[in-house]
Structure 1
Amino acid sequence: MKVLVTGGAGFIASWCRRELIARGHQVLVMDHQDRRQQLADGEEFFLGDVRDATAVTEAAAHVDGIIHLAAVLGTQETINNPKPSAETNILGSLNVFEAAAQYNLSCVYAGVGNHAFRTIGTGCYTITKSAAEDLTRMYNLYRDGGRITTVRPVNAYGPGQSIAQPYGTSKVRKILPALTCRALTGADIEVYGDGTQVSDCVYVEDVARAFVTALEHTAVNGPTEKPVEVGPLESRTVNDIARLVAEYAAKVTGREPVGIKHLPMRPGEVPNAVVSSDTSTLAQIGMTAADFVPLEDGIRRTVDYYAQSWLPGWLEGAEVSV
């Protein structure tokens, strides 16, 4: 199968591409930034934006299936500037679904793990991604060629995830890079709220396996009855995750574990929130969360990655600036 991966230069997309190639598929990477220098064997590049219906239709004409990951991310960021997320996450997704229906392609759409928050107040990211998920149901029910499975991962983490300011250039804060970079540099970890909220994390390699498996399933059997929710069997609080990061970072650096500092919650964050998964839905595609990378092992791999690939450059820059 030749598979179009939208948002193909992104974090989850890069792992999906590896998984597709490992399973013998070909990949057409679509991204609005020219990243063709990052291509591996078995991959081609298509420069385009999902907001451009013509570009999406042209890319879809050359593939057998689509994994749709292109999106504008961020909770707080999309509250202050909602239009880009609406344009990309709703209209861009509509372009993808329309092209998939036109060519009768199997498609997997990346939903959000906190989809339920749309009823109690959250950022435009969740609102727009959930609206696009509503469109998948419409296509599956009423449109010829509608063959879309929704996969809802909770917080994906692992090697290669972008780092937000002040430790990196990303404008969107992700939980594991944010905690890890502070712990590795000896700064107290910052947790928004009291840390008792549940915000489940799932290792990105398992997320990629779920996306590719869902696409293969959809190609043969059609879309799943329910969205496929991807997360761990056991939920943990944000405080639990922060402590694990602090403890393993201390082993890596040889220092005492850093502390945990609690900050006021930000707009779009829900006190006492529970972001978790109904992992029984994985059975629809023949998977089980029992096979997923345990949180302790995933955090070890992630901290090791940033300690080796990011920390030396950060320390060198800090020495130069002194």
Structure 2
Amino acid sequence: MKVLVTGGAGFIASWCRRELTARGHSVLVMDHQDRRHQLADGEEFFLGDVRDATAVTEAAAHVDGIIHLAAVLGTQETISNPRPSAETNILGSLNVFEASTQYDLPVVYAGVGNHAFRLVGTGCYTITKSAAEDLARMYNLYREGGRVTIVRPVNAYGPGQSVAKPYGTSKVRKIAPAFACRALTGTDIEVYGDGAQISDCVYVEDVARAFVTALEHTAVHGPTERPVEVGPLESRTVNDIARLVAEYAAKVTGREPVGIVHLPMRPGEVPNAVVKSDTTTLQQIGMTVADFVPLEDGIARTVDYYNTEWLPGYLAA
């Protein structure tokens, strides 16, 4: 297949592109910024914004399937400024679903692992991504050519994830780079809340495998009956993850493990939250969580990446 990857320059998208290429598919990268310099051999680039229905329809005309990852991210960031996430995550997804039905294309849509939080109050990111899930179900039920499988990863982590302030330029703080960068520089890890909340993390390579497998399944069999939830075999608390990062960073740097400090929870975060997956849903696409990278191994690979690829540049700046 030739596959359109929206938001194709992003973290998860870069791993999906590798997985697609490894399986013999060709890739058309769609992004709203000109990222042609990031393309691998054989990949094509389409400059366009998913909010532009004409651009999405034109890109869809040249492919056999779509992995829809383009989104505006953030929890408290989307509370203070909700419009961009509403426009991109809802209208952009609507444009993708509409174009896919026009050309009878299979689609995999990236849902969110904390979709249930919209019932208790959370950021616009979760609200808008969940709204697009509802649109996907509508297309599957009532529109000829509607073939959308929803894949809900929990917190994806791994090499290549962008770094937020004060260690990088990203506007959205992600748990693995936030913890790793602090630990590698000898700074205590900051955890929002008491850290007892469960926020499952899944290695990004496994997320990419799930997206590509879901697309191949949908192309042949149609959309899955239930969303495919992608997460680890065993749940851990945020404190557990922080300790793993601190301990492995200490091995890498030769220093004592950094401490863990607790900060007030941010707007949009739910106290005593449990974010975990029903990994039995992977069976719908012939996958099993038993094959996923264990958290300890994934954390080691991730900390190694930031130690070799990020830390030297940061220290030299």
Bin of the TM-score, shorter chain as denominator length: over 0.9
Find the aligned partners of 2:40 and 2:272 in 1 and give their Cα distance. 43
Q: Distance in 2 between matches of 1:273 and 1:315?
A: 36
Amino acid at match of 2:233: L
Are 1:216 and 2:216 an aligned pair? Answer: yes
Deviation at 1:233, TM superposition (A): 1.0
Rounded Cα–Cα distance in structure 2 between residues aligned with 1:27 and 1:223 = 21
Mind listing any 5+ residue stretches in structure 1 that lack a counterpart?
318-322
User: Structure 1 residue 42: deviation in Å?
Assistant: 2.3
Q: 1:37, CA displacement in angstroms? A: 1.1
Q: Which residue of 2 aligns with 1:176?
A: 176
**Match of 1:287?**
287
By how many angstroms is 1:175 displaced?
A: 0.3
- In the alignment, the residues of structure 1 paired with residue 76 and residue 42 of structure 2 have an alpha-carbon distance, to the nearest angstrom, of 37
**Any unmatched runs of 5+ in structure 2?**
none
Letter in 1 for 2:206: D
What is the aligned partner in structure 1 of residue 193 from structure 2?
A: 193
Deviation by residue 1:41-65 (Cα, 9 ceiling, x = unmatched): 2210000000000000000000000
Q: Which residue is equivalent to 2:5?
A: 5
Partner of 1:25: 25
Say whether residues 1:145 and 2:130 are aligned partners.
no
Q: Render the CA deviation track for 1:185-232: whole Å, top value 9, x for unaligned.
A: 000000000000000000000000000000000000000000000000
Which digits, 9 at most, give the CA deviation of each residue in 1:4-56, with x for residues without a partner? 00000000000000000000000000000101111112210000000000000
- Report the Cα distance in structure 2 between the residues aligned to 1:51 and 1:11, rounded to whole angstroms: 20
Q: Percent identity?
A: 88
Matched AA of 1:63: V
Cα distance in 1 for partners of 2:154, 2:184 equals: 25
Q: Which residue does 2:52 correspond to in 1? A: 52
Deviation at 1:313, TM superposition (A): 1.1
2:163 counterpart SS class: coil
Match of 2:234 in 1: 234
**Alpha-carbon separation, structure 2, partners of 1:209 and 1:268:** 30
- Give the match's secondary structure for 2:71: coil
Aligned amino acid, residue 85 of structure 2: S
The 1-side partners of 2:41 and 2:267 are apart by 43
Is 1:38 the counterpart of 2:38 in the alignment? yes
Following TM superposition, the consecutive aligned residue runs of length 4 or more in structure 1 with deviations greater than 2 angstroms are none
Provide the C-alpha distance between the structure 1 equivalents of 2:158 and 2:287, rounded to a whole number of angstroms. Answer: 20
Distance in 2 (alpha carbons) for counterparts of 1:315 and 1:39: 28
Partner Cα distance (1:288, 1:47) in 2: 36
Instruction: Give yes or no for the alignment of 1:107 onto 2:73.
Output: no
Quote the residue 2:246 is aligned against. Answer: 246
Other-structure match for 2:159? 159
- Within 1, Cα distance between the matches of 2:101 and 2:120? 33
Which letter does structure 2 place at the counterpart of 1:216? E
Cα deviation digits, residues 106-134 of structure 1 (max 9, x gap): 00000000000000000000000000000
Q: TM-score, normalised by structure 1?
A: 0.98
Show CA shifts across 1:66-105 (max 9, x none). 0000000000100000000000000000000000000000
* TM-score, normalised with respect to structure 2: 1.00
Counterpart residue number, 1:316: 316
Count of matched residue positions in the alignment of Structure 1 and Structure 2: 317
Give the letter for the 1:187 counterpart.
T
- Whole-Å separation in 2 of the counterparts to 1:272 and 1:185: 29
